[in-house]
Structure formats: C-alpha cells, structure tokens
Amino acid sequence: MKYSSQAVAKPYFIFALALLAGEILFGLLMATQYLFGDFLFPLIPFNVLRMVHTNLLIVLILFGFMGATYYLIPEESERELWSPWLAKVTFWVFAVAGVVTILGYLLVPYATLAEITFNTLLPTMGREFLEQPTIIKIGIVFVVLSYILNVTMTVIKGRKTVITTVLLTGLFGLAFFFLFAFYLPENLVMDKLFWWFVVHLWVEATWELILGALLAFVLIKVSGIDREHIDKWLYLIIAMTLVSGLVGTGHHFYFMGAPEYWLWLGSISSAVEPLPFFLMILFAYTVTKQRKIQYDNKMALTWAKGTAVMGFLGAGVWGFMHTLAPVNFYTHGTQLTAAHGHLSFYGAYIMIIFTIISYAMPILRGRPKGNCAKAQKVELSAFWLMNIGMMGLTLALTVAGVMQIIQQRTGVNPLGFMEVQATIAPVYYTRIAFGLMVFIGLITYFTSFFIKEEKAK
Amino acid sequence: MIERITKSMAKNIYLGGGLFALLIFTGLTFDTVQQIPKRSNDDKITPSVAAGKNLWEVNNCVGCHTILGEGAYYAPELGNVFQRRGGSDEAGFKEYMKGWMAAQPMSEPNRRKMPQFNLSDKEVDSISDFLIWTSKVNANQWPPNIEG
Ligand code: HEM
Ligand code: HEM
Ligand SMILES: [Fe+2]
C-alpha cells in the first residue's frame, strides 16, 4: 500500500461481500418459492424477497465501486485521498441507510412503508429496482455526491491519468442518470421511458466506463505494461460503449408505447453493444501475452480475464440473443430476460468487484505479494464453483425461457401463464441446484481469507 | 488492426463518437416525448387512472407481475389482462377484478400465492381503470397473443 488513505477501501470491500452473500441467500429463497408457493408465504411474499435480492445487488455494486475507487484514486493521483474522514462517514451513512431499507422491506407491508416515509409528498416508489423510499433515494444522492466530491478533489489536486478521467466521467454519469429516479409521471409510458434512463444508462453506459477503468487499472498493475498502450485500449472500449449503448437504449422501447422507429434504431445500435465487451476480452488476453512482469498474485489476473469473458457471455452473447426487435417480440419479459440479467450482472459487475478485491485486499492486509499459494488455490476453486454455478443457473433459465415462449406465445392454442410455469418445474429445480453451487463457491471464497500465511522458510 | 490505431486517434473516436451518439439520443428522446401522448391516449388519463397507477406502485404489483413486458416473471402479464379476463368489457372486468382481489390468497396448496391487499371497492376500480388504460397503449402489437 503506497498511501495510508487507501485503507478506507477495506470496510467497503468487506461489506460488499457480505451483501452478496445476503443477495444469493434471498435468490435461493425466491427460487424455492417459485416451486412451493406456500414457502414463507404470507410471511415474506415473493415481491419482498425480490426487492431485497435486487436492491442488495445494486447497493453491493455501489459499495464495490466506492471501495475500488478509494483504493485506486490515491495511487493514480499520487497523493493521499482528499478526505479519508469523509470516506469513513460516507461508509457508515450508506451502510446504515442500506440496512434500514432492507429491514423496512422485511418488517412492514410495502404500502405501509410508502405511507410512513411520506411517498405522497414526492412519489418515486414501486418501480422495479427503484423500490427504495424517497427519503432513502435522497440519502443515496448525498452519499454519491460526497463520494464524487472526495474523488474529484483528490484527482484535481494530483496527477491526472486517463483511468481517473474515465472513472470520474462514469461516476458523474451515474449520479446524473440517477436523478431520473425522481421523475414519476402519471403516464405509464413516460414513466417507463425515463425509468430506462436510470437502468439501461447505468449498466450499459456509465457503469461500463467504470468497469473499463477498473479493469485497465488492475491490468496495468499485474502486467507492468506501459500506460500509453493500456490507455488506447481503454479509449477504444469506452468509445464503442457510448456509440452503441446510448442509442441502444432503444432495445427497451420496442413494445412499451414508444414510436415504431425504435424497432430498427434500437436493433441496429444495440446489435453493436457486444463489441466493447469483446474488446475487453482482446484487451485482457493481449495484455496477458505482452506482460513484462510475473505478478505473484495470480488470482488477480485470473479474475480480470474471467470478468472479460463472463461479461462478454452475459452481456454480449445473452444480450444479443434477444436484442433484435423481431426476436424480442417473443422473448420480452420471459425467463430469458432473467437468464440474461443474471449472467450479465454477475459477469461484468460482480466479477470486476472480485477482481479488484482479489488484487487490493492482500495488499491492504500487508501481503504485497498476494496471498500464499494455498489460499490462492482455494480462491481458484471458488472462482470455478461460482462461474460454473452462474453459467448453469443461466442455462437453466434459458431453457425455462424457451419452454415458456414455445408454449405460451406460439402456436394456435397457447397455454396460460400458470399452466406453463407448472411444466417448467423440473428446470426450476436445476436452477436451485446451480444456485447452491454459487453459494458454496462464495463460502469457499470467504474461507480463502482465513488461510494463514505459510511461514517464510 | 488495433496496433495501427494510436492513443490520440482512440481518444478522438471516444470524444467524437460519444458526443455524436449523445446528441442523436437526446434528439430522439425529444421526438419520442412528443409522440407518446398520442400513442398512449394521454387525454384519457382520468384521476381514477392516475390513482390506480399510484396504487399499483405502492402495493408493488410489479414485484410479481410484468406490465407491458417489464417487471417480475413470477405471475401473469397484466398489460392485457383486460382483454384476457375481462373480454374487453369494462363493467365485466371491474366485477372480475373485485372478485379476484377479494379472493386472494387462494387456498390451493403450494400454488404461487398473491397476497391480500385489503383494498376498497373504489380502489380496485381505480386499478381496473389503470389496467384498462394500459391495455389500449399502442405497443406495436405486443403481446403476441392473449396469454401475454
Ligand atoms: C453488463 C451489462 C448488462 C447488464 C447488467 C444487463 C442487465 C439487464 C437486465 C437486468 C435486464 C432486465 C431488465 C428488466 O427487469 O426489465 C436487461 C434487459 C435487456 N437487456 Fe441487458 N444488460 C447488459 C447488457 C446488455 C447488452 C450488451 C445487450 C444487447 C446486446 C442487452 C440487451 C437487453 C435486452 C434486449 C433486454 C430486454 C429484455 C426484455 O425485453 O425483456 N443487455 N438487461
Ligand atoms: C445464485 C443464486 C441466485 C438465485 C437462485 C437467484 C434467483 C432469482 C430469482 C428467482 C429472481 C426473480 C425472477 C423473477 O422475477 O421471476 C431473480 C432476479 C434477479 N436476480 Fe437473482 N438469483 C441468484 C443470484 C443472483 C446474482 C449473483 C445476481 C447478480 C449478479 C442476481 C441478479 C438478479 C437480477 C438482476 C434479477 C432481476 C432480473 C430481471 O428483472 O430480469 N441474482 N433472481
Ligand atoms: Fe439495455
């Protein structure tokens, strides 16, 4: 660790991992309720489990991004963080707000939660991923602003690099597009249009800049390749992101009341969206081939390559699968959407967080050469357990989606939704099995943290 | 190919391409916002439809259902439930909705359950009005059939 203020990253990383465990646990509960409707009902209805599952996901990614930034920014800027104190306060405010929100979901009916948090004053609740009470959303704005202020001040006062510029652009974009969460018009179609400004323009535009910057940072560190070369790759990746991803938002405007021209505009531009993810694979593998040093912490590079590959599969391949309007006509809002949602979020955003944690955590714990060989071996099995588990879960959902589409949406005598779901039950059992595998993988990953250093010989 | 591109070329592609895409996207958004009122029958959003949308939100119906294909995949699509369960007849649909909402949760063991929301008749009528309005949005012929 070059700068002592980098240490503020540690609680962010630990908390992000704890939230991930919670997320997967709730995923497993949901998967069980899918098959046994009376499981946990009426104690925790499905929608509540789902809110907890997806909100934990988003919050854990934000914690991961924050930890990653606080670790990387001092090193890139070659100075201490502007205010480590503020970073610590922000951590506690965000952590408490997050826990309170989850407890709110679990302890009171959602309508009551809306009432006691004065949703009528500024209604924003009740939309997928944006279920948080308005007051919590306002809190998130303040947390993000304090985070951006801290990062910006550090960058301004220190060395400016392409990585920090791209990262900051991504962060400003993240903050800007979140503001659309406060716009809730009476017209459902307008509501949907701007809802995607948060959801799509986060995962397929601004977060992708952050993803690119974090990947570039770790690749520089583990390869020893000079910056000029890395910067060029980073620019190309984010150029393709913006060129395809902005107008690509149109792949959500086919069947929700927006004009017809989105059918072809959205199809054409989003068909290019896999390209930046493909470039990330080329980037990671080219850098590996040309690397100038043998970095002792092998797992950091393994995770980085894994991110590129799994991100491409989840976002690129599974995204492309249903992004053309004539295909999306049949797949829209089916289990196939869920298949893509899982592999893309995991491959791109959960894995980049594993990458940065795997790189930074040993250093933060005073092991500049990475964890001992035994710990790395355990980490590698965790890597495979989680990747194979997520891949299996995704394939199961893909089969479920195809079964759903064929029976419910094609043919002259389509079956009803509930009937079709009953026929998919065996596949949903498989999903639980792979979900358990992911959970075991995560526990294995946790144990790798507790393996004692081998004594120096 | 990548070898022949220099860093400054890459930077220019990023800035130029990004700005260009942003401008196009902003322009298209303005046009879409202009067209939505007509395609969605904005003038038919009565106070009851608006109240129904609010009830839809504060009860988090979207946490189990999809509406125009967006939401959760645990329970049936409701964008066209007016046609599916109401046969496109407003009075009949409202009766159906009152009966349905009152009957939840149903007793069949281990079938997926919908909670009891304890809504008044007037509130259920509002939700029905909202779902009727939604079913008439011009969504480019989606869904493929009545099953949603
Ligand atoms: C890491 C990047 C990405 C993430 C995290 C992501 C995540 C998601 C999620 C969670 C949804 C479901 C939204 C909902 O609940 O309605 C979704 C939908 C969709 N995504 Fe992605 N996505 C990514 C990249 C892509 C890419 C690159 C493409 C196209 C090539 C794509 C195409 C689509 C399409 C067409 C839908 C709509 C599905 C439907 O009609 O139901 N996504 N995405
Ligand atoms: C490993 C065990 C997991 C299981 C069993 C599981 C299960 C589920 C279930 C049942 C849903 C609800 C689908 C519906 O609406 O009907 C869901 C939604 C979702 N989960 Fe998971 N999940 C797991 C892990 C994860 C992980 C690790 C991530 C993130 C990387 C994730 C991201 C999501 C997202 C983004 C959605 C919303 C999908 C959409 O709207 O298309 N899940 N999950
Ligand atoms: Fe998208």
Q: Evaluate whether B72 touches A53 at the Cβ level (below 8 Å).
A: no
Q: What is the pLDDT of residue A456?
A: 56
State how far the alpha carbon of A137 is from the alpha carbons of A133, A176, A178, B101, in Å.
6, 13, 9, 31
Residues of B in contact with A231 (CB under 8 A): 7, 10
DSSP characters for A347-394? IIIIHHHHHHHHHHHHHHTT-TT-S-HHHHHHHHHHHHHHHHHHHHHH
Q: How far apart are CA A232 and CA B2, in angstroms?
A: 9
Cβ contacts below 8 Å, chain A against chain B, sum to: 227
C-alpha A248: how far from chain center: 19
Comparing alpha-carbon positions, the chain B residue that sits nearest to A124 is B57
Q: Band of the pLDDT at B106, cuts 50, 70, 90?
A: very high
* Per-residue pLDDT reduced to its tens digit, A300-315: 999 999 999 999 999 9
Residues of A in contact with B20 (CB under 8 A): 243
Q: How far apart are CA A312 and CA A340, in angstroms?
A: 11
Measured in Å, residue A327 CA sits from the centre of ligand 2 at 22
Residues B12-23 have a mean pLDDT of 97
* Per-residue pLDDT reduced to its tens digit, B43-98: 999 999 999 999 999 999 999 999 999 999 999 999 999 999 999 999 999 999 99
Cβ of A54 closer than 6 Å to ligand 2, yes or no, is yes
Closest CA to A345 of A68, A95, A20, A18: A20
Half-sphere exposure of A238 (CA within 13 A, CB side): 32
For B25, the closest of A114, A249, A421 (CB atoms) is A249
Q: Evaluate whether A425 touches A36 at the Cβ level (below 8 Å).
A: no
Measured in Å, residue A337 CA sits from the centre of ligand 2 at 10
Q: Which residues pair with B67 in a beta bridge?
A: B70
Q: What does the mean pLDDT of chain A come to? A: 97
Residues A266-277 have a mean pLDDT of 98
Q: Judge: A257–B39 Cβ closer than 8 Å, yes or no.
A: yes
pTM greater than 0.95 = yes
What 8-state DSSP symbol labels residue A452? P
Q: What does the mean pLDDT of chain B come to? A: 97
State how far the alpha carbon of A432 is from the alpha carbons of A33, A440, B37, in Å.
11, 12, 44
For B14, the closest of A114, A238, A254 (CB atoms) is A238
**Residue A302 parent element (H or E):** helix A298-311
Question: Which amino acid, A359?
Answer: Y
Q: Which of A417, A424, A431 has the most B C-beta neighbours within 10 Å, making it the best mutation to test the interface with B?
A: A417
Q: How far apart are CA A129 and CA A451, in angstroms?
A: 37
Question: Which amino acid, B144?
Answer: P
Fold type of domain B41-148: Cytochrome Bc1 Complex; Chain D, domain 2 (1.10.760)
Give the 3-state secondary structure of residue A81: coil
Comparing alpha-carbon positions, the chain B residue that sits nearest to A165 is B11
Residue A457 pLDDT > 90? no
Q: Ligand 2 pocket test: pick from A30, A46, A56, A351 the residue with the most ligand atoms within 8 Å of its Cβ.
A: A30
For B25, the closest of A247, A263, A416 (CB atoms) is A247
Residue A455 pLDDT > 80? no
ipTM over 0.90: yes
Q: Evaluate whether B2 touches A287 at the Cβ level (below 8 Å).
A: no
Q: Of A204-208, A306-310, A349-353, A449-453, which gets the smallest average pLDDT?
A: A449-453
Q: What is the pLDDT of residue B3?
A: 80
Q: Ligand 1 pocket test: pick from A65, A203, A281 the residue with the most ligand atoms within 8 Å of its Cβ.
A: A203
**Residue B67 parent element (H or E):** strand B66-67
Cβ of A287 closer than 6 Å to ligand 2, yes or no, is no
Q: How far apart are CA A426 and CA A35, in angstroms?
A: 9
Q: Evaluate whether A376 touches A454 at the Cβ level (below 8 Å).
A: no
Q: How far apart are CA A154 and CA A230, in angstroms?
A: 22
